[in-house]
Every structure is written in structure tokens, then in C-alpha cells.
Chains A and B, each alone.
Chain A
């Protein structure tokens, strides 16, 4: 693009007119190979008949979705009622991911604000410090967190030695530990987009609002919030979506006592269940959920732009 385009020969669209299809090729290839093909395959598999111990038989079947939504008892011959097992697993995952998102927002917003209001030179240092831990593999960080908070770990040893507590806190293998793990794993995904939004904010607007007798709360709500809102929404999505499918934190910090969406799907492929269509169906339902969330985001974005 740097060389060769004759300047003044026409508008940009004229220059690239004949090349449009060719220039789109990489995009279509990437979308096709890495997005459409796997999703279509997943969709097709979810409607096939399962083969015992993994694999599929190429016969159309609703069995996977039926298993997800209908309960026929342990032996499969009770009259069908609504199956709460998998909805419960999904709900728990959504709840965990939602809570992690709120925690990240509560801590991430002030952090991003703090960084964005430093002088430009030290901003990059603060950002650098925020990202450093994330150069380490997620698995290592999760295991480290486990070592820190377990009953025989440094946190409890310190509190015991200091006489603050008599017995270990018992943090490990709890939902709290899972929350902590998710929060720690995805915090920068909240900080960075909010930082980008706050950085663009013109603080003269605050001053102007203040001159017009707006209180602190009113400024935050009516002046600042609309400007940084896209950053907040982007941050929430970037935290919520990976938290929803997370299985490292529930496994290592939560003790794997209950299935999360991620571990439920893994069990269908790597566990004794070996039910590929069901795993694919669960993944499709998860994908649909995530898509709905993204659509809501897109609509919120459009509303912002319409103003």
C-alpha cells in the first residue's frame, strides 16, 4: 500500500475497485477456516448420533439436545420433565463469571482511572507493571495462587504466626477461591480497555460541568460515564466471556467438586462419558448464549453512536 498507488488518479474506492474481492481474500480465509468451519462442524456433530466411547454415527438425532433439556430419571424411563442438571451447571458458570466481572470492574475502573490521570511519562510504566504478571502462563499463575492461599500456604502461615487467626482460613476448594482465581486471571482485560477510554477523556469537560454547578456524582454519571462506557462494556465482555468457559480456576482452586461449563464439555470428550454430540450441543448452547450477550453489546454501542 505504501508505494505505487498513483496519487490524484481518483478516490480510494476507484483505485481498489477491481481488487475488492482479492483484498478481501485473507479476511474470508481467516473467517472461513478459523471461525465458520469449526462452528459448522460443531453444529453438525451436535445433531448426530453418539457412538459408544467417543465418536459419532452419521445419523441425524436430537438426542444431545434432548439430554440437555429433558430429564427422564436415572434409568431413562420416567416421564420427561425439565432437566435442571445442565441448566444448573450453566447458571453456576454464568453466576461465577458475572461476579468475577463485577469484581474486576470495581477494582479495574479506579485502577484504570488512576493510571490514565498520571502524567504521560509514568503512564507507560504503570501499564507495564499491570501487564508483567500476564507474561507468565495462566496455569502457572493459577497454581501459584493455590500455593499462596492453601491451608499450609504462606498466607495462612503468616496470619497464624501473627496471631490473627487460630485455625487456617480454609480458602482453598471454595467458590471464593474460584472467584479469586478468575478475578486475578482476567483483571487486565478490564483495566486496559477502560484505560484507553479514560485516556481519551478531555478533563476540561469535568471543569466545564463543575463551572455549571454539577456535583461530583453528577459529573461522573452524566459527563464521564457516557464517554468511558464503551471501554467499560468492552472490558466486561473481555472478562465475562473467558470466565464463562474457564476450567483451570474451578479445577485447581475449586477442587473440581462441581462441573462448570468448561469441565462438563471436557468430560464429554476426554472422560468416560465419551458423548461427542452432547459435548458439541453444550458448546453450541454456550456459543448461542455468548452471541446473545454480544448482540446486546452491539445494540448498546449503536445507541451510543446514534446520540
Chain B
């Protein structure tokens, strides 16, 4: 009976608590990408009840919104090319810079970006790079080329993990071959197809969410990985080096977007403004170990994060954003990918 009373009381408190809160905020976010303390801080500061669902790829985010979830979330965190796709699909709402008092905290170079000119629907969340890391105990040479993944030396053969997404893996392969993204040139596509077919024999596994774990456990001696994940793997004891290949790497930025039909538009804008506060942006960076794209974060960063080799690429490294291909070209890349995994 006591238990019953207690739980009834709890439900009551829960209900009234929800009623008393200023409102709600529903976030659709990547897995393992925001510290819970930061959500709690926002929740307390603005008296907003925050709920969050997670996804594991840009495409999964798009699929879920297309399947009818649009209208149930306020903000989401798509990568650069996906912002453009969602904008083109009419899934994003717009705001004026004056709606966010911290709008001017955005670093100049991230203000007028190709995927959202003038930042009408998005703000920077974090940016980083996609390349690969190699275990220094296994490979003793100076790693500087994507050849370690696509044409590996004997000691790495059969010990390579690649990301399980067509976009990232085929883009890195294209960089290695020096062919443009979204090409419809038959010879170049055949070359790309032949390269990954041949390289696959030397790969141990395809995996994105396990990219860090396989390097830490030693299942893989080299693996494609995102810069922050590589830094985390190092801290978890993997003796690895994150490589800035001479052929180039992928640079990306994840962005907080205001979704169309957001049920709590006002709170969404408050949340975006909150994330542009240098202290809060730094909290995300300290957790995820990428870079913020917000001015004034430096003083709040943990030294090992600010100085990590992953976040400080050499000035001359070539870096490309992943491009969103047109439909007739995307079909070709999908065919190469299916052909690779058949």
C-alpha cells in the first residue's frame, strides 16, 4: 500500500511538474554526442522538459523524418550535405539572425556556408574530419596516404575496418583515386568500383558505430574514423595515430536545424541560442572532442581537447565536404555500394 501511495504521488508530481515547466523541447540527435549535464543545465535554466531520440546516420535521420516524424521534433542535428537535402525537401523552418542574441558568436568562416547560405535555418554544432587511424604497434612507417586503407601493406591486410556508409567510404576512395565526387564519367566510376572491389579482400569489417571500439580492442589495426572518435580511442588506450592523408580527407560540420512544424519553436530557438554560448559550445567540444565553430570557446576547453592532434590538422591538408549528388548520379554510387557488399 505504501508503495502504491508513493508511486501515485510520483505520478502526480510528474504530471504537475510537467504542467509547471515552461514547456517542452524535443531533440533528434546523433548517438553519444551531447553530455547529459548540458541538457540538464538547459532544462533548469529555461524550465523546459527536454526529451531526446538518437539516430546513427544522416540517412537514418532523413528516413525517419520522411516516414512521418516531421512535426514531432523541434530540432535535429544533420551533417552539412544533409542540411542542404532537408532544406531542398522543405523540412526546415527559418529564423532571423535577430531571433538569436548569440548569433554573432558564430565564427565568420561558418556563417555563409554553401549548404545553408546566410544561416537561415541552422547554426554550427561541431565540425571535424573523417579520415583513418592506424595502430603504431602494427605499422611502423610514416602514415601519410589513403593507400594504407585502399592498397594496404602486408602488415595491415585483413586488419582494416571501414565505415559502413556509402557516402564516407566511397568519398575517401574517390579522394584516393583523385576523381571528383558525384561524377557520372563511366571510366572514373569503373575505376572506383574496381578499387573498392579489390580493397575489400583486405578489409576485416564494415562498421560505423564500432569504429572506435575495434581500434581500442585491437580487432582492427587501421580504421576509417571521425577525428573526435580517434581522440577518444587514444584516450581509451589505443596506440594509434590519426592520419591526414596527402590525397585529402573529408571535412564535415554537424548543424542544429530548426525543423518545420516544430511543436515548440520558441524553445527550439532558446536551445539554439543556448548552444551558441561559448561555455556551452565548449562543453559539447570537451565531450565529443571535435571543434565548435563558435567564437570564444578557447578558455573553456580542456587542454587535451584543445591541443589534440586530431583537432589541429596541418594547414596544408586538403579537405572536402561530402557532396549531395543528383538522383541520376546517386543511383550509380548506390550500385557500386551494393555491388561491393553483395
Smallest CB separation, A55 vs chain B (Å): 5
| Complexed CA–CA distance, A275 and B57 (Å) | 16
| Contact yes or no, A273 B205, CB < 8 A | no
| Contact yes or no, B63 A259, CB < 8 A | no
Known: A256-B164, A272-B165. A151 touches B218 (CB 8 A): yes
Q: How large is the interface on A (under 10, 10 to 19, 20 to 34, 35 or more residues)?
A: 20 to 34
- Of residues B190, B218, B337, B341, which shows the largest number of chain A Cβ atoms within 10 Å of its Cβ? B341
Flag whether B299 is at the interface (Cβ < 8 A).
Answer: no
| Complexed CA–CA distance, A294 and B121 (Å) | 52
Residue positions of A touching B, CB distance < 8 A: 52-55, 74-76, 85-86, 88-89, 150-152, 172-173, 251-252, 255-259, 263, 267, 269-275
Q: How large is the interface on B (under 10, 10 to 19, 20 to 34, 35 or more residues)?
A: 35 or more
Smallest CB separation, A151 vs chain B (Å): 6
Interface of A is mostly: loop
Interface of B is mostly: helix
Known: A256-B206, A257-B341. A75 touches B332 (CB 8 A): yes
Flag whether B189 is at the interface (Cβ < 8 A).
Answer: yes
| Complexed CA–CA distance, A1 and B63 (Å) | 47
Other contacts beyond A55-B66, A75-B332, A271-B166: 20, CB < 8 A: A53-B85, A54-B62, A54-B67, A74-B339, A75-B186, A151-B218, A152-B217, A251-B207, A255-B161, A256-B205, A256-B206, A257-B206, A259-B341, A267-B338, A269-B63, A270-B57, A270-B60, A272-B330, A273-B166, A274-B62
| Complexed CA–CA distance, A270 and B167 (Å) | 13
| Contact yes or no, B335 A74, CB < 8 A | yes
What is the count of residue pairs linking A and B with beta-carbon distances less than 8 angstroms? 92
| Contact yes or no, A173 B217, CB < 8 A | no
Flag whether B342 is at the interface (Cβ < 8 A).
Answer: yes
| Complexed CA–CA distance, A271 and B206 (Å) | 14
Q: Determine the chain B residues whose CB is within 8 A of the CB of A150 once the complex forms.
A: 217, 219
| Contact yes or no, A74 B193, CB < 8 A | yes
| Contact yes or no, A152 B338, CB < 8 A | no
Chain B 312-332, CB within 8 Å of chain A: the 1/0 string?
Answer: 000000000000000100111
Residue positions of B touching A, CB distance < 8 A: 57, 59-60, 62-63, 66-67, 85, 89, 161, 164-167, 186, 189-190, 193, 200, 203-207, 210, 217-219, 327, 330-339, 341-342
Q: Determine the chain A residues whose CB is within 8 A of the CB of B57 once the complex forms.
A: 270-271
> Which B-chain residue is minimally distant from A266 (CB atoms)?
B60
Q: Determine the chain B residues whose CB is within 8 A of the CB of A272 once the complex forms.
A: 59, 165-167, 330, 333-334, 337
Query: Which of B62, B193, B203, B219 is in CB contact (< 8 Å) with A151?
Result: B219
Known: A74-B332, A150-B217. A255 touches B204 (CB 8 A): yes
Q: Determine the chain A residues whose CB is within 8 A of the CB of B205 once the complex forms.
A: 173, 255-257
| Contact yes or no, B206 A255, CB < 8 A | yes
| Contact yes or no, A255 B207, CB < 8 A | yes
Smallest CB separation, A279 vs chain B (Å): 10
| Contact yes or no, A258 B339, CB < 8 A | no
| Contact yes or no, A74 B189, CB < 8 A | yes
| Complexed CA–CA distance, A274 and B200 (Å) | 24
- Of residues B193, B205, B332, which shows the largest number of chain A Cβ atoms within 10 Å of its Cβ? B205
| Complexed CA–CA distance, A271 and B337 (Å) | 11
The 9 closest A-B pairs by CB, nearest first: A255-B205, A256-B206, A52-B327, A270-B60, A54-B66, A85-B342, A273-B334, A272-B166, A152-B218
